[in-house]
Amino acid sequence: MNKIMEKPFEHLRRMSDNTKFSDDVVKNWYIARAYVLERLREISFMPDSKEHLHVIIDGDNGRMLSVVRQVALLAHYINFDEGYEGIVPSNRTVITIVSKKSNIKEELEKEEYLCNLPKYCKFVGKNQITLHDDSYIDIELHIVEVYNKKQEERNLVYFTESDVDDYWNKEYNNEDILSIDTRKAYYTSKMYNIGEAIDNLPAEDIHCAQRYTMALSILQYNKLKEEPQPMFIKDANSELCIIKEKLSNIFCSDCFESRKGSIQQCQKKEMDKEIKIWEEQNEALSKSEHARWVVEKLIMGYSPFNAQQRFKDECLFYDKKKKNEYRKSLKRQEQNPAHIDLCSYADLRRINPDDLKYDSFLMLAIPKILEKVGNDN
């Protein structure tokens, strides 16, 4: 199957004034994506692992802050525990940024970098003041002026400005760096076009793989039989929310290999067939996917419902159609979009349980999509 190379980042626009991002910003996004995918390719964890990834990013220019953004989009693992009712969250990915800038938090909150993520994730400033210590988000940010490696640390990855620049200089003539193969993203988008086989499933026993047998059959013998098509060729004047929804499929599918790595680690330990482990680990994978999705949406400029929006949403309990229309209108706003699902996994089970099944179904579909497209390696 031939690659389908596209340039989707060019279509993203600022929420503030609907203008495109500069060419340098867009180029840095592509470079950061290719570089981080390469450097983190082999990292994955067992579901019961107590370890976590720690990425040191030594530098704060535009390209390095794009690397911070890409690590936050990519580094989501099956062993994260968001905590609940007094249990402290554990196994977050830690991103330490080495910077002497006094306004580094404001820099990070720009639309081209982390946008809303620092407002909700655990954030440790240079003064060691910690914000959002109990955050359910699986990324935490630390700011230091100098990083002193005091002891040997497992799962530590160190990025410097020269590392990233050398990578770009080496790959300068590689057009694949400044574009993206969207085949996996294309098939990922088909998860939401299965129809009644998934839409009509009740929100109960959502991690039982057998419930998705019909939906997986439709995916495998219908949707995956289609030849992938370009996703972004007609998006010059598309609504910003539509572009972000398409990009979401890229960010999601970028994590497929690390999820497969966790399953393969389980397989080596237990000697079970791989497909059985995908099924057994569906709950852990689904929780990890929700955590990834939350970070992506915050970076893309979405916010959780505020008190007023939540109150109005709850007042519409009597009319499901009006409630859905209200939620849809908020998430499609050009400026300051809000999404009801931006909450912990535990809260999502209470607030909007119907959406949980899509994560479960998607995790079961990953091996079929990877088989269809072929492993990136």
Query: Would the pLDDT of 53 be above 70?
Result: yes
User: Is residue 103 classed exposed, middle or buried when 0-12, 13-18 and 19+ CB atoms within 10 A define those classes?
Assistant: exposed
Query: Would the pLDDT of 79 be above 70?
Result: yes
Write the pLDDT tens digit of every residue in 182-194. 999 999 999 888 9
Reported as a pLDDT band with limits 50, 70 and 90, residue 271 is low
Query: Would the pLDDT of 319 be above 70?
Result: yes
Q: Are residues 203 and 136 in the same domain?
A: no
Q: Are residues 74 and 197 in the same domain?
A: no
Q: Are residues 218 and 308 in the same domain?
A: yes
Share of the chain above pLDDT 70, in %: 97
**Residue 121 · residue 137 · CB < 8 Å:** yes
Is 103 within a domain? yes
Query: Would the pLDDT of 309 be above 90?
Result: yes
Query: Would the pLDDT of 38 be above 90?
Result: yes
Is 111 within a domain? yes
Q: Are residues 15 and 124 in the same domain?
A: yes
Could you tell me the residue range of the domain that residue 190 belongs to? 181-373
Is 77 within a domain? yes
Write down the H helix ranges in 81-121.
Answer: 104-108
Domain ends where: 135, 170, 205? 170
The pLDDT of residue 376: 42
User: Is residue 36 classed exposed, middle or buried when 0-12, 13-18 and 19+ CB atoms within 10 A define those classes?
Assistant: buried
Domain ends where: 170, 191, 213? 170
Q: Are residues 130 and 152 in the same domain?
A: yes
The pLDDT of residue 287: 97
Is 86 within a domain? yes
Q: Are residues 261 and 363 in the same domain?
A: yes
Q: Are residues 52 and 113 in the same domain?
A: yes
Distance between CA 140 and CA 124 in Å, rounded? 8
Residue 24 phi/psi, 5-degree rounding, is: -65, -40
Is 28 within a domain? yes
Domain ends where: 126, 150, 170? 170
The pLDDT of residue 236: 66
Is 280 within a domain? yes
Q: Are residues 156 and 192 in the same domain?
A: no
Residue 154 phi/psi, 5-degree rounding, is: -70, 150
Distance between CA 261 and CA 366 in Å, rounded? 12
The pLDDT of residue 148: 79
Write the pLDDT tens digit of every residue in 90-115. 999 999 999 999 999 999 999 999 99
Q: Are residues 73 and 125 in the same domain?
A: yes
- Positions of E strands within 16-59: 54-58
Reported as a pLDDT band with limits 50, 70 and 90, residue 212 is very high
Give the residue-averaged pLDDT of 229-254.
90
Find the range with the poorest average confidence among 53-57, 171-175, 257-261: 171-175
Is 176 within a domain? no
Q: Are residues 88 and 213 in the same domain?
A: no
Of residues 210, 138, 166, 175, the one with CA closest to residue 39: 166
- Say how many Å lie between the first and final Cα of the chain, rounded: 15
Q: Are residues 153 and 13 in the same domain?
A: yes
Q: What six digits make up the tokens of 67?
A: 């690397």
Is 61 within a domain? yes
Write the pLDDT tens digit of every residue in 328-345. 999 999 899 999 999 999
**For the chain, how many structural domains are there in total?**
2
Query: Would the pLDDT of 254 be above 70?
Result: yes
Q: Are residues 120 and 200 in the same domain?
A: no
